[in-house]
Structure 1
Amino acid sequence: MPDPDPTAAVTEVAGRRLRLTHLDRVLYPRTGYTKAAVLRYYTLVAPVLLPQLAGRPASFLRLPEGVEGQRFWAKRVPPGAPDWVPALEVTHRHEVLRQAVVADLPTLLWAANLGCLEFHVPQWRTDPRTHDRLIIDLDPGEGTGVVECCAVALAARELLAADGLRCWPKTTGSKGLHLTVPLRETPAARVAGYARELARRLRAALPELVVDQMAKELRSGRVFVDWSQNNSSKTTVAAYSLRARPEPTVSTPLEWSEVAGCRRAEQLVFSADQVAERVRTTGDPHAAVTDPAQAGTLPARPS
Protein backbone atom coordinates (compact mmCIF):
# COMPACT_ATOMS: atom_id res chain seq x y z
CA MET A 1 0.00 0.00 0.00
CA PRO A 2 1.53 3.39 -0.97
CA ASP A 3 2.57 5.76 1.77
CA PRO A 4 -0.19 8.40 2.13
CA ASP A 5 2.53 10.96 2.81
CA PRO A 6 5.58 10.34 0.61
CA THR A 7 7.30 13.42 2.10
CA ALA A 8 7.26 11.97 5.63
CA ALA A 9 10.62 11.46 7.29
CA VAL A 10 11.53 9.44 10.35
CA THR A 11 14.39 10.98 12.29
CA GLU A 12 16.02 10.81 15.68
CA VAL A 13 16.34 14.01 17.70
CA ALA A 14 18.28 13.90 20.96
CA GLY A 15 17.53 10.20 21.27
CA ARG A 16 13.81 10.55 20.52
CA ARG A 17 12.23 9.07 17.39
CA LEU A 18 10.04 11.49 15.43
CA ARG A 19 7.98 10.99 12.28
CA LEU A 20 7.77 14.35 10.55
CA THR A 21 4.93 14.59 8.06
CA HIS A 22 3.76 16.73 5.12
CA LEU A 23 7.08 18.52 4.96
CA ASP A 24 6.29 20.15 1.61
CA ARG A 25 2.98 21.60 2.79
CA VAL A 26 2.91 25.38 2.33
CA LEU A 27 1.83 26.90 5.65
CA TYR A 28 2.30 30.55 4.62
CA PRO A 29 0.99 30.80 1.04
CA ARG A 30 1.97 34.45 0.58
CA THR A 31 5.66 33.57 0.90
CA GLY A 32 5.68 29.85 0.10
CA TYR A 33 7.02 29.07 3.59
CA THR A 34 6.64 25.33 4.13
CA LYS A 35 6.31 23.06 7.11
CA ALA A 36 9.90 21.94 6.55
CA ALA A 37 10.95 25.60 6.85
CA VAL A 38 8.97 25.96 10.09
CA LEU A 39 10.69 22.90 11.55
CA ARG A 40 14.07 24.22 10.45
CA TYR A 41 13.37 27.62 12.02
CA TYR A 42 12.38 26.10 15.34
CA THR A 43 15.47 23.89 15.28
CA LEU A 44 17.72 26.92 14.74
CA VAL A 45 16.18 29.04 17.51
CA ALA A 46 15.59 26.22 19.99
CA PRO A 47 18.58 27.22 22.19
CA VAL A 48 17.00 30.65 22.82
CA LEU A 49 13.32 29.69 22.63
CA LEU A 50 13.36 26.70 24.98
CA PRO A 51 14.45 28.70 28.09
CA GLN A 52 11.38 30.93 27.54
CA LEU A 53 9.10 27.87 27.58
CA ALA A 54 10.83 25.72 30.18
CA GLY A 55 8.77 24.74 33.19
CA ARG A 56 5.58 26.42 31.93
CA PRO A 57 2.43 24.70 30.66
CA ALA A 58 2.17 25.50 26.97
CA SER A 59 -0.85 26.47 24.93
CA PHE A 60 -0.54 25.71 21.22
CA LEU A 61 -2.17 27.60 18.36
CA ARG A 62 -2.45 24.89 15.75
CA LEU A 63 -2.96 25.46 12.03
CA PRO A 64 -2.38 22.06 10.41
CA GLU A 65 -3.30 23.32 6.93
CA GLY A 66 -1.52 26.65 7.25
CA VAL A 67 -2.45 30.23 8.06
CA GLU A 68 -5.33 30.30 5.58
CA GLY A 69 -6.89 27.14 7.02
CA GLN A 70 -8.65 26.20 10.22
CA ARG A 71 -6.99 27.26 13.46
CA PHE A 72 -7.66 26.10 16.99
CA TRP A 73 -6.19 26.31 20.47
CA ALA A 74 -4.85 23.16 22.10
CA LYS A 75 -4.10 23.02 25.79
CA ARG A 76 -4.43 19.33 26.56
CA VAL A 77 -1.71 16.87 25.59
CA PRO A 78 -3.39 15.21 22.59
CA PRO A 79 -4.13 11.48 22.40
CA GLY A 80 -1.26 9.56 20.87
CA ALA A 81 1.42 11.93 22.13
CA PRO A 82 4.74 10.22 22.88
CA ASP A 83 5.10 9.18 26.50
CA TRP A 84 8.30 11.23 26.74
CA VAL A 85 6.49 14.56 26.26
CA PRO A 86 6.74 16.34 29.66
CA ALA A 87 3.44 17.51 31.12
CA LEU A 88 1.91 19.32 34.07
CA GLU A 89 -1.46 18.80 35.68
CA VAL A 90 -2.88 22.33 35.70
CA THR A 91 -5.95 23.30 37.70
CA HIS A 92 -8.11 25.73 35.75
CA ARG A 93 -11.37 27.18 36.99
CA HIS A 94 -13.58 24.19 36.31
CA GLU A 95 -11.23 21.36 35.40
CA VAL A 96 -7.75 19.92 35.59
CA LEU A 97 -5.86 19.79 32.30
CA ARG A 98 -2.76 17.83 31.44
CA GLN A 99 -0.68 20.34 29.46
CA ALA A 100 2.58 19.83 27.62
CA VAL A 101 5.77 21.49 28.81
CA VAL A 102 8.07 22.27 25.90
CA ALA A 103 11.31 21.48 27.65
CA ASP A 104 13.53 20.13 24.87
CA LEU A 105 14.07 20.03 21.11
CA PRO A 106 12.17 16.74 20.52
CA THR A 107 9.07 18.15 22.23
CA LEU A 108 9.38 21.42 20.30
CA LEU A 109 9.56 19.63 16.95
CA TRP A 110 6.82 17.18 17.94
CA ALA A 111 4.50 20.15 18.58
CA ALA A 112 5.55 21.99 15.41
CA ASN A 113 4.89 18.82 13.41
CA LEU A 114 1.30 18.88 14.71
CA GLY A 115 0.89 22.27 13.03
CA CYS A 116 1.62 24.33 16.11
CA LEU A 117 2.86 27.65 14.77
CA GLU A 118 2.46 29.71 17.96
CA PHE A 119 3.63 28.82 21.46
CA HIS A 120 2.01 30.67 24.37
CA VAL A 121 2.79 30.40 28.09
CA PRO A 122 1.43 31.94 31.29
CA GLN A 123 3.28 34.24 33.68
CA TRP A 124 3.65 31.39 36.18
CA ARG A 125 5.17 27.92 36.25
CA THR A 126 3.45 25.29 38.36
CA ASP A 127 1.02 27.30 40.49
CA PRO A 128 -1.31 29.92 38.96
CA ARG A 129 -1.44 31.67 42.34
CA THR A 130 2.25 32.63 42.15
CA HIS A 131 3.75 34.57 39.23
CA ASP A 132 7.39 35.04 38.29
CA ARG A 133 6.86 37.42 35.37
CA LEU A 134 5.09 40.70 34.79
CA ILE A 135 4.02 41.41 31.21
CA ILE A 136 3.33 44.91 29.91
CA ASP A 137 1.33 44.45 26.72
CA LEU A 138 1.25 47.54 24.50
CA ASP A 139 -1.54 47.25 21.95
CA PRO A 140 -1.85 50.07 19.39
CA GLY A 141 -5.33 51.33 18.58
CA GLU A 142 -6.49 52.51 15.18
CA GLY A 143 -4.27 55.30 13.90
CA THR A 144 -1.27 54.21 15.96
CA GLY A 145 1.36 51.52 15.57
CA VAL A 146 4.60 50.21 16.92
CA VAL A 147 6.27 53.65 16.77
CA GLU A 148 3.81 54.94 19.37
CA CYS A 149 4.22 51.71 21.34
CA CYS A 150 7.95 52.42 21.50
CA ALA A 151 7.30 55.82 23.07
CA VAL A 152 5.11 54.19 25.72
CA ALA A 153 7.67 51.43 26.26
CA LEU A 154 10.39 53.96 27.01
CA ALA A 155 8.14 55.69 29.54
CA ALA A 156 7.26 52.34 31.13
CA ARG A 157 10.93 51.47 31.38
CA GLU A 158 11.55 54.65 33.40
CA LEU A 159 8.65 54.01 35.77
CA LEU A 160 9.76 50.42 36.30
CA ALA A 161 13.36 51.48 36.91
CA ALA A 162 12.18 53.93 39.55
CA ASP A 163 10.56 50.95 41.27
CA GLY A 164 13.78 48.92 41.07
CA LEU A 165 12.61 46.71 38.20
CA ARG A 166 14.19 45.89 34.84
CA CYS A 167 12.29 45.00 31.69
CA TRP A 168 13.15 43.51 28.32
CA PRO A 169 11.29 44.46 25.11
CA LYS A 170 10.09 42.28 22.26
CA THR A 171 7.75 42.68 19.35
CA THR A 172 4.50 40.76 19.48
CA GLY A 173 5.10 39.63 15.90
CA SER A 174 1.95 41.57 15.07
CA LYS A 175 1.48 45.31 15.71
CA GLY A 176 2.49 45.88 19.31
CA LEU A 177 5.20 45.38 21.90
CA HIS A 178 5.63 43.32 25.06
CA LEU A 179 7.83 44.23 27.99
CA THR A 180 8.84 41.35 30.23
CA VAL A 181 9.79 41.92 33.87
CA PRO A 182 11.25 38.86 35.63
CA LEU A 183 10.13 38.64 39.25
CA ARG A 184 10.84 36.67 42.34
CA GLU A 185 7.81 34.52 43.01
CA THR A 186 4.98 36.88 43.91
CA PRO A 187 1.29 36.35 44.68
CA ALA A 188 -0.68 36.61 41.45
CA ALA A 189 -3.10 39.20 42.85
CA ARG A 190 -0.22 41.48 43.79
CA VAL A 191 1.32 41.26 40.30
CA ALA A 192 -2.04 41.97 38.68
CA GLY A 193 -2.61 44.93 40.99
CA TYR A 194 0.80 46.39 40.22
CA ALA A 195 0.20 45.99 36.48
CA ARG A 196 -3.13 47.77 36.75
CA GLU A 197 -1.59 50.65 38.69
CA LEU A 198 1.35 50.90 36.28
CA ALA A 199 -1.11 51.25 33.39
CA ARG A 200 -2.83 54.07 35.28
CA ARG A 201 0.50 55.80 35.89
CA LEU A 202 1.38 55.56 32.19
CA ARG A 203 -1.98 57.10 31.28
CA ALA A 204 -1.30 59.94 33.74
CA ALA A 205 2.18 60.48 32.27
CA LEU A 206 1.06 60.31 28.62
CA PRO A 207 -2.65 61.22 28.59
CA GLU A 208 -2.76 61.94 24.85
CA LEU A 209 -1.13 58.64 23.95
CA VAL A 210 -2.15 56.00 26.51
CA VAL A 211 -5.45 54.40 27.43
CA ASP A 212 -5.81 51.87 30.24
CA GLN A 213 -9.44 50.93 29.78
CA MET A 214 -10.55 48.00 27.66
CA ALA A 215 -13.40 49.71 25.79
CA LYS A 216 -12.41 49.63 22.11
CA GLU A 217 -14.04 52.97 21.36
CA LEU A 218 -11.46 54.63 23.64
CA ARG A 219 -8.42 53.19 21.86
CA SER A 220 -8.45 55.13 18.59
CA GLY A 221 -5.25 57.18 18.33
CA ARG A 222 -3.87 55.70 21.54
CA VAL A 223 -1.91 52.72 22.84
CA PHE A 224 -3.82 50.41 25.15
CA VAL A 225 -1.75 49.15 28.09
CA ASP A 226 -3.35 45.74 28.54
CA TRP A 227 -2.71 45.06 32.21
CA SER A 228 -5.06 42.04 32.08
CA GLN A 229 -2.29 39.95 30.52
CA ASN A 230 -1.17 39.35 34.12
CA ASN A 231 -4.33 37.46 34.98
CA SER A 232 -3.46 33.84 35.80
CA SER A 233 -5.84 32.61 33.11
CA LYS A 234 -4.03 34.54 30.36
CA THR A 235 -1.09 33.43 28.26
CA THR A 236 1.39 35.45 26.19
CA VAL A 237 3.12 34.47 22.98
CA ALA A 238 6.66 33.36 23.77
CA ALA A 239 9.74 35.19 22.59
CA TYR A 240 10.91 33.62 19.29
CA SER A 241 7.52 32.08 18.51
CA LEU A 242 6.26 32.36 14.97
CA ARG A 243 2.93 34.13 14.48
CA ALA A 244 0.01 32.82 12.46
CA ARG A 245 -0.18 35.86 10.20
CA PRO A 246 -0.03 36.13 6.40
CA GLU A 247 3.79 36.09 6.54
CA PRO A 248 6.03 34.15 8.97
CA THR A 249 6.76 36.99 11.37
CA VAL A 250 8.19 36.33 14.82
CA SER A 251 7.74 37.73 18.33
CA THR A 252 11.25 39.15 18.34
CA PRO A 253 13.40 40.23 21.31
CA LEU A 254 14.83 43.70 20.84
CA GLU A 255 17.65 45.84 22.10
CA TRP A 256 16.52 49.03 23.82
CA SER A 257 18.46 50.99 21.20
CA GLU A 258 16.13 49.54 18.56
CA VAL A 259 13.10 50.69 20.55
CA ALA A 260 14.52 54.19 21.01
CA GLY A 261 15.51 54.42 17.35
CA CYS A 262 12.26 53.22 15.81
CA ARG A 263 10.80 55.75 13.38
CA ARG A 264 8.90 53.45 11.00
CA ALA A 265 6.83 50.35 11.74
CA GLU A 266 8.75 48.21 9.24
CA GLN A 267 11.93 48.65 11.28
CA LEU A 268 10.51 46.29 13.90
CA VAL A 269 9.00 43.61 11.67
CA PHE A 270 11.14 40.49 11.48
CA SER A 271 10.68 37.31 9.48
CA ALA A 272 11.69 33.87 10.69
CA ASP A 273 14.79 33.90 8.49
CA GLN A 274 15.82 37.32 9.80
CA VAL A 275 15.37 36.24 13.40
CA ALA A 276 17.40 33.06 12.92
CA GLU A 277 20.19 35.21 11.47
CA ARG A 278 19.92 37.73 14.33
CA VAL A 279 20.33 34.92 16.86
CA ARG A 280 23.29 33.50 14.94
CA THR A 281 25.14 36.79 14.66
CA THR A 282 24.19 38.79 17.75
CA GLY A 283 22.87 36.29 20.29
CA ASP A 284 19.81 36.60 22.49
CA PRO A 285 18.75 40.01 23.86
CA HIS A 286 16.25 38.18 26.11
CA ALA A 287 18.73 35.81 27.75
CA ALA A 288 18.65 37.69 31.06
CA VAL A 289 14.88 37.23 31.38
CA THR A 290 15.45 33.63 32.51
CA ASP A 291 18.41 34.45 34.78
CA PRO A 292 17.27 34.14 38.41
CA ALA A 293 19.73 36.88 39.38
CA GLN A 294 17.68 39.38 37.32
CA ALA A 295 14.39 38.64 39.10
CA GLY A 296 13.05 41.73 40.84
CA THR A 297 10.75 42.40 43.76
CA LEU A 298 7.63 44.54 43.44
CA PRO A 299 7.70 47.65 45.62
CA ALA A 300 5.36 47.89 48.55
CA ARG A 301 3.46 50.48 46.51
CA PRO A 302 4.17 52.16 43.17
CA SER A 303 6.44 55.18 43.52
Structure 2
Amino acid sequence: MSSVTDKVPLIVEGHEILISNPNKPLWPKIKKVDYLQKLVQIAPYLLRYCKNRYLTTIRYPHGYGDKTYFYQKNCPEPRPSFVKTAKLHEINYVNLDSVATLLWLGNLACLEFHPSFHYIDQSFPAEWVIDIDPSVENEPRLMDAVLCIGELLETLHIQSVPKTSGATGVQIVIPIIQKYSFDQLRKAGQFISEYLVHKYPNLFTIERLKKNRGHLIYIDYLQHWQGKTLAAPYTPRARELAPVSTPLHWHEVKKDLHPKDFNLLNIEERLKQEGDLIQKVKPQQLDHLLEHISN
Protein backbone atom coordinates (compact mmCIF):
# COMPACT_ATOMS: atom_id res chain seq x y z
CA MET A 1 0.00 0.00 0.00
CA SER A 2 1.28 3.43 -0.86
CA SER A 3 2.36 5.67 1.96
CA VAL A 4 1.49 9.36 2.07
CA THR A 5 4.95 10.19 0.75
CA ASP A 6 4.19 8.10 -2.37
CA LYS A 7 1.19 10.25 -3.19
CA VAL A 8 1.11 13.27 -5.49
CA PRO A 9 -0.70 16.36 -4.16
CA LEU A 10 -3.26 17.97 -6.47
CA ILE A 11 -4.92 21.31 -5.70
CA VAL A 12 -8.51 21.50 -6.97
CA GLU A 13 -10.87 24.37 -6.18
CA GLY A 14 -8.58 25.31 -3.30
CA HIS A 15 -8.59 21.79 -1.83
CA GLU A 16 -5.67 19.38 -1.72
CA ILE A 17 -6.24 15.83 -2.93
CA LEU A 18 -3.47 13.26 -2.55
CA ILE A 19 -3.36 11.18 -5.73
CA SER A 20 -2.16 7.62 -5.14
CA ASN A 21 -0.54 5.54 -7.90
CA PRO A 22 -1.08 8.17 -10.64
CA ASN A 23 0.40 5.85 -13.28
CA LYS A 24 -1.84 2.89 -12.47
CA PRO A 25 -3.64 1.74 -15.67
CA LEU A 26 -7.41 1.94 -15.31
CA TRP A 27 -8.01 1.11 -18.99
CA PRO A 28 -5.38 -0.11 -21.48
CA LYS A 29 -4.71 3.42 -22.81
CA ILE A 30 -5.74 5.40 -19.75
CA LYS A 31 -3.72 5.75 -16.55
CA LYS A 32 -5.24 7.18 -13.42
CA VAL A 33 -3.65 10.58 -14.06
CA ASP A 34 -5.21 10.56 -17.55
CA TYR A 35 -8.56 9.57 -16.08
CA LEU A 36 -8.53 12.47 -13.66
CA GLN A 37 -7.77 14.86 -16.52
CA LYS A 38 -10.71 13.45 -18.48
CA LEU A 39 -12.98 13.84 -15.46
CA VAL A 40 -12.10 17.54 -15.34
CA GLN A 41 -13.15 17.84 -19.00
CA ILE A 42 -16.55 16.19 -18.53
CA ALA A 43 -17.21 17.60 -15.05
CA PRO A 44 -19.47 20.51 -16.17
CA TYR A 45 -21.75 17.97 -17.87
CA LEU A 46 -21.56 15.02 -15.48
CA LEU A 47 -22.02 17.12 -12.34
CA ARG A 48 -25.26 18.55 -13.73
CA TYR A 49 -26.86 15.11 -13.38
CA CYS A 50 -25.19 14.11 -10.10
CA LYS A 51 -25.32 17.30 -8.04
CA ASN A 52 -27.78 17.26 -5.14
CA ARG A 53 -28.65 13.61 -5.74
CA TYR A 54 -27.89 10.42 -3.84
CA LEU A 55 -24.87 8.93 -5.58
CA THR A 56 -23.89 5.30 -6.04
CA THR A 57 -20.46 4.66 -7.53
CA ILE A 58 -18.85 1.51 -8.87
CA ARG A 59 -15.23 1.13 -7.83
CA TYR A 60 -12.60 -0.85 -9.71
CA PRO A 61 -9.45 -0.79 -7.55
CA HIS A 62 -7.34 -2.46 -10.24
CA GLY A 63 -8.95 -1.04 -13.38
CA TYR A 64 -11.95 -1.80 -15.56
CA GLY A 65 -11.41 -5.57 -15.81
CA ASP A 66 -11.07 -5.96 -12.04
CA LYS A 67 -13.35 -8.75 -10.85
CA THR A 68 -13.17 -7.39 -7.30
CA TYR A 69 -15.18 -4.30 -8.30
CA PHE A 70 -17.92 -3.23 -5.91
CA TYR A 71 -20.84 -0.82 -5.64
CA GLN A 72 -20.39 1.92 -3.07
CA LYS A 73 -23.42 3.70 -1.63
CA ASN A 74 -22.06 4.86 1.72
CA CYS A 75 -19.49 7.62 1.39
CA PRO A 76 -15.94 6.24 1.63
CA GLU A 77 -14.08 7.06 4.83
CA PRO A 78 -12.05 8.95 5.76
CA ARG A 79 -13.53 11.75 3.67
CA PRO A 80 -12.19 15.27 3.18
CA SER A 81 -14.14 18.15 4.70
CA PHE A 82 -15.15 19.43 1.24
CA VAL A 83 -17.05 16.24 0.39
CA LYS A 84 -20.74 16.74 1.17
CA THR A 85 -23.04 13.88 2.04
CA ALA A 86 -26.77 13.25 2.44
CA LYS A 87 -28.48 10.50 4.39
CA LEU A 88 -31.34 8.38 3.06
CA HIS A 89 -32.57 5.15 4.69
CA GLU A 90 -29.51 5.06 6.98
CA ILE A 91 -27.11 5.30 4.03
CA ASN A 92 -24.76 8.29 3.94
CA TYR A 93 -24.50 9.06 0.22
CA VAL A 94 -22.01 11.36 -1.49
CA ASN A 95 -23.43 14.57 -2.93
CA LEU A 96 -21.31 14.94 -6.05
CA ASP A 97 -21.47 18.73 -6.31
CA SER A 98 -17.91 19.79 -7.13
CA VAL A 99 -14.91 19.00 -9.29
CA ALA A 100 -12.87 18.40 -6.13
CA THR A 101 -15.31 15.71 -4.97
CA LEU A 102 -15.33 14.16 -8.46
CA LEU A 103 -11.53 13.89 -8.53
CA TRP A 104 -11.45 12.55 -4.98
CA LEU A 105 -13.79 9.77 -6.12
CA GLY A 106 -11.77 9.28 -9.31
CA ASN A 107 -8.63 8.78 -7.24
CA LEU A 108 -10.50 6.01 -5.41
CA ALA A 109 -11.02 4.31 -8.80
CA CYS A 110 -14.72 5.13 -8.99
CA LEU A 111 -15.19 4.50 -12.70
CA GLU A 112 -18.98 4.81 -12.87
CA PHE A 113 -21.44 7.31 -11.41
CA HIS A 114 -25.08 6.33 -10.86
CA PRO A 115 -27.23 9.07 -9.27
CA SER A 116 -30.75 8.80 -7.90
CA PHE A 117 -33.68 9.85 -10.06
CA HIS A 118 -34.67 12.50 -7.55
CA TYR A 119 -32.94 15.32 -5.73
CA ILE A 120 -31.84 15.19 -2.12
CA ASP A 121 -34.76 15.75 0.27
CA GLN A 122 -37.27 15.81 -2.59
CA SER A 123 -39.77 13.19 -3.71
CA PHE A 124 -40.62 14.20 -7.28
CA PRO A 125 -38.50 12.74 -10.12
CA ALA A 126 -36.04 15.14 -11.74
CA GLU A 127 -36.63 13.59 -15.17
CA TRP A 128 -38.25 10.52 -16.72
CA VAL A 129 -36.02 7.74 -18.06
CA ILE A 130 -36.97 4.61 -20.00
CA ASP A 131 -34.27 1.95 -20.12
CA ILE A 132 -33.93 -0.20 -23.27
CA ASP A 133 -32.04 -3.38 -22.48
CA PRO A 134 -31.19 -5.97 -25.17
CA SER A 135 -31.24 -9.60 -24.10
CA VAL A 136 -28.12 -10.42 -26.13
CA GLU A 137 -24.74 -8.65 -26.11
CA ASN A 138 -24.77 -7.51 -29.73
CA GLU A 139 -28.36 -6.82 -30.75
CA PRO A 140 -28.58 -5.65 -34.40
CA ARG A 141 -32.20 -4.49 -33.92
CA LEU A 142 -31.46 -2.26 -30.93
CA MET A 143 -31.41 1.07 -32.74
CA ASP A 144 -34.55 0.19 -34.72
CA ALA A 145 -36.23 -0.56 -31.40
CA VAL A 146 -35.09 2.77 -29.95
CA LEU A 147 -36.46 4.58 -33.01
CA CYS A 148 -39.83 2.89 -32.54
CA ILE A 149 -40.02 4.27 -29.02
CA GLY A 150 -38.90 7.72 -30.14
CA GLU A 151 -41.54 7.79 -32.86
CA LEU A 152 -44.24 6.81 -30.37
CA LEU A 153 -43.17 9.55 -27.96
CA GLU A 154 -43.20 12.06 -30.83
CA THR A 155 -46.73 10.95 -31.75
CA LEU A 156 -47.67 11.65 -28.13
CA HIS A 157 -46.09 15.13 -28.46
CA ILE A 158 -43.33 14.27 -25.99
CA GLN A 159 -39.80 15.40 -26.81
CA SER A 160 -37.01 13.10 -25.66
CA VAL A 161 -33.29 12.47 -25.92
CA PRO A 162 -31.77 9.02 -26.51
CA LYS A 163 -28.45 8.29 -24.85
CA THR A 164 -26.11 5.36 -24.99
CA SER A 165 -25.84 3.59 -21.67
CA GLY A 166 -22.13 3.16 -22.33
CA ALA A 167 -22.70 -0.59 -21.97
CA THR A 168 -25.08 -2.59 -24.20
CA GLY A 169 -28.31 -0.63 -23.96
CA VAL A 170 -29.84 2.76 -24.60
CA GLN A 171 -31.83 5.01 -22.32
CA ILE A 172 -34.42 7.55 -23.39
CA VAL A 173 -34.40 10.68 -21.26
CA ILE A 174 -37.49 12.88 -21.09
CA PRO A 175 -36.90 16.22 -19.34
CA ILE A 176 -40.08 16.97 -17.39
CA ILE A 177 -41.68 19.67 -15.33
CA GLN A 178 -40.96 18.60 -11.79
CA LYS A 179 -44.49 17.93 -10.60
CA TYR A 180 -45.14 14.32 -11.55
CA SER A 181 -44.82 11.45 -9.08
CA PHE A 182 -42.88 8.25 -9.59
CA ASP A 183 -46.18 6.40 -9.56
CA GLN A 184 -47.58 8.56 -12.38
CA LEU A 185 -44.46 8.03 -14.50
CA ARG A 186 -44.53 4.30 -13.86
CA LYS A 187 -48.11 4.15 -15.14
CA ALA A 188 -47.09 6.16 -18.20
CA GLY A 189 -44.12 3.84 -18.76
CA GLN A 190 -46.33 0.78 -18.44
CA PHE A 191 -48.82 2.21 -20.93
CA ILE A 192 -46.09 2.93 -23.50
CA SER A 193 -44.35 -0.39 -22.96
CA GLU A 194 -47.50 -2.50 -23.23
CA TYR A 195 -48.51 -0.65 -26.39
CA LEU A 196 -45.11 -1.34 -27.97
CA VAL A 197 -45.15 -5.02 -26.95
CA HIS A 198 -48.60 -5.36 -28.49
CA LYS A 199 -47.59 -3.59 -31.72
CA TYR A 200 -44.15 -5.25 -32.06
CA PRO A 201 -44.49 -8.65 -30.32
CA ASN A 202 -41.40 -10.04 -32.06
CA LEU A 203 -39.23 -7.12 -30.95
CA PHE A 204 -40.17 -6.00 -27.42
CA THR A 205 -40.88 -7.56 -24.03
CA ILE A 206 -41.62 -6.35 -20.53
CA GLU A 207 -40.58 -9.69 -19.03
CA ARG A 208 -38.32 -8.79 -16.10
CA LEU A 209 -36.46 -12.12 -15.87
CA LYS A 210 -33.76 -12.23 -18.51
CA LYS A 211 -33.90 -16.01 -18.80
CA ASN A 212 -37.52 -15.73 -19.97
CA ARG A 213 -36.99 -13.02 -22.61
CA GLY A 214 -35.44 -15.04 -25.39
CA HIS A 215 -34.04 -12.58 -27.93
CA LEU A 216 -36.61 -9.87 -27.26
CA ILE A 217 -35.56 -6.36 -26.24
CA TYR A 218 -36.62 -5.44 -22.73
CA ILE A 219 -38.35 -2.12 -22.08
CA ASP A 220 -37.57 -1.42 -18.44
CA TYR A 221 -40.03 1.15 -17.14
CA LEU A 222 -39.76 -0.24 -13.59
CA GLN A 223 -36.18 0.92 -13.00
CA HIS A 224 -37.31 4.53 -12.84
CA TRP A 225 -38.23 4.64 -9.17
CA GLN A 226 -37.23 6.25 -5.91
CA GLY A 227 -34.14 4.52 -4.51
CA LYS A 228 -33.08 3.06 -7.86
CA THR A 229 -30.37 4.40 -10.18
CA LEU A 230 -29.10 4.31 -13.77
CA ALA A 231 -25.83 5.41 -15.31
CA ALA A 232 -25.72 9.20 -15.37
CA PRO A 233 -25.44 11.08 -18.65
CA TYR A 234 -21.70 11.53 -19.33
CA THR A 235 -20.53 8.94 -16.82
CA PRO A 236 -17.63 6.74 -17.93
CA ARG A 237 -18.33 3.00 -17.91
CA ALA A 238 -15.98 0.25 -16.83
CA ARG A 239 -15.92 -1.40 -20.22
CA GLU A 240 -13.31 -1.91 -22.90
CA LEU A 241 -12.27 1.38 -24.56
CA ALA A 242 -13.68 3.45 -21.68
CA PRO A 243 -17.09 4.27 -23.20
CA VAL A 244 -19.07 7.26 -21.93
CA SER A 245 -22.85 7.35 -21.60
CA THR A 246 -23.61 9.91 -24.30
CA PRO A 247 -26.80 11.75 -25.31
CA LEU A 248 -27.56 11.63 -29.03
CA HIS A 249 -29.50 13.45 -31.69
CA TRP A 250 -32.35 11.30 -32.95
CA HIS A 251 -30.81 11.34 -36.43
CA GLU A 252 -27.72 9.67 -34.97
CA VAL A 253 -29.74 6.63 -33.87
CA LYS A 254 -28.87 4.19 -36.64
CA LYS A 255 -27.80 0.59 -37.02
CA ASP A 256 -24.06 1.17 -37.16
CA LEU A 257 -24.04 3.18 -33.92
CA HIS A 258 -22.14 1.52 -31.09
CA PRO A 259 -21.72 2.74 -27.48
CA LYS A 260 -17.95 2.41 -27.87
CA ASP A 261 -18.09 5.18 -30.48
CA PHE A 262 -18.19 7.66 -27.59
CA ASN A 263 -15.45 7.25 -25.02
CA LEU A 264 -13.09 9.11 -22.71
CA LEU A 265 -10.60 9.59 -25.55
CA ASN A 266 -12.99 11.53 -27.80
CA ILE A 267 -15.84 12.81 -25.61
CA GLU A 268 -14.24 16.24 -25.10
CA GLU A 269 -14.39 17.01 -28.83
CA ARG A 270 -18.03 15.91 -29.06
CA LEU A 271 -19.01 18.09 -26.12
CA LYS A 272 -17.30 21.07 -27.72
CA GLN A 273 -19.31 20.48 -30.90
CA GLU A 274 -22.69 19.45 -29.47
CA GLY A 275 -22.89 20.67 -25.89
CA ASP A 276 -25.41 18.99 -23.64
CA LEU A 277 -28.24 17.73 -25.85
CA ILE A 278 -30.51 17.04 -22.88
CA GLN A 279 -30.42 20.68 -21.87
CA LYS A 280 -31.63 21.66 -25.34
CA VAL A 281 -35.02 20.02 -24.72
CA LYS A 282 -37.43 22.02 -22.58
CA PRO A 283 -39.15 20.28 -19.65
CA GLN A 284 -42.16 18.39 -20.97
CA GLN A 285 -45.78 18.53 -19.86
CA LEU A 286 -47.24 15.03 -19.50
CA ASP A 287 -50.75 15.97 -18.40
CA HIS A 288 -52.30 14.93 -21.71
CA LEU A 289 -50.74 11.46 -21.54
CA LEU A 290 -51.71 10.92 -17.92
CA GLU A 291 -55.27 12.08 -18.59
CA HIS A 292 -55.52 9.64 -21.50
CA ILE A 293 -54.29 6.76 -19.34
CA SER A 294 -56.76 7.53 -16.54
CA ASN A 295 -59.77 7.60 -18.91
TM (norm. structure 1) is 0.87
User: Which residue does the alignment assign to 1:25?
Assistant: 24
CA 1:144 to 1:10, structure 2 compared with 1: closer, same or farther past 3 Å?
A: closer
* More divergent stretch after superposition (185-194 vs 249-258): 185-194
The residue identity in structure 1 corresponding to 2:25 is V
The residue identity in structure 1 corresponding to 2:79 is A
> Does residue 34 of structure 1 match 2:31?
yes
CA 1:7 to 1:220, structure 2 compared with 1: closer, same or farther past 3 Å?
A: farther
CA 1:152 to 1:301, structure 2 compared with 1: closer, same or farther past 3 Å?
A: farther
The residue identity in structure 2 corresponding to 1:174 is A
User: Which residue does the alignment assign to 1:81?
Assistant: 79
Q: 1:271 aligns with which of 247, 250, 263?
A: 263
> Does residue 155 of structure 1 match 2:148?
yes
> Does residue 122 of structure 1 match 2:99?
no
The residue identity in structure 1 corresponding to 2:51 is A
CA distance in 2, matches of 1:37, 1:186: 41
> Does residue 182 of structure 1 match 2:175?
yes
CA distance in 2, matches of 1:237, 1:266: 17
Q: 1:200 aligns with which of 194, 198, 211?
A: 194
Q: CA RMSD in A?
A: 2.2
Unaligned residue ranges in structure 2 (runs of 5+): none
Q: 2:226 aligns with which of 221, 232, 235?
A: 232
CA distance in 2, matches of 1:171, 1:267: 6
User: Which residue does the alignment assign to 1:9?
Assistant: 8
CA distance in 2, matches of 1:159, 1:263: 19
TM (norm. structure 2) is 0.90
The residue identity in structure 2 corresponding to 1:283 is G
Q: What secondary structure does 1:73 align onto?
A: strand
> What whole-Å deviation, never above 9, does each CA across 1:238-270 have from its counterpart, x for those lacking one?
1111111233111111111101xx222547632
Unaligned residue ranges in structure 1 (runs of 5+): none
Q: What secondary structure does 1:294 align onto?
A: coil
Is residue 141–residue 255 contact of structure 2 (8 Å, CA) maintained in 1? no
> What whole-Å deviation, never above 9, does each CA across 1:37-91 have from its counterpart, x for those lacking one?
1111111111111111122111010112112321111111122111221222213
CA distance in 1, matches of 2:71, 2:257: 29
CA distance in 1, matches of 2:74, 2:191: 34
CA 1:267 to 1:189, structure 2 compared with 1: closer, same or farther past 3 Å?
A: closer
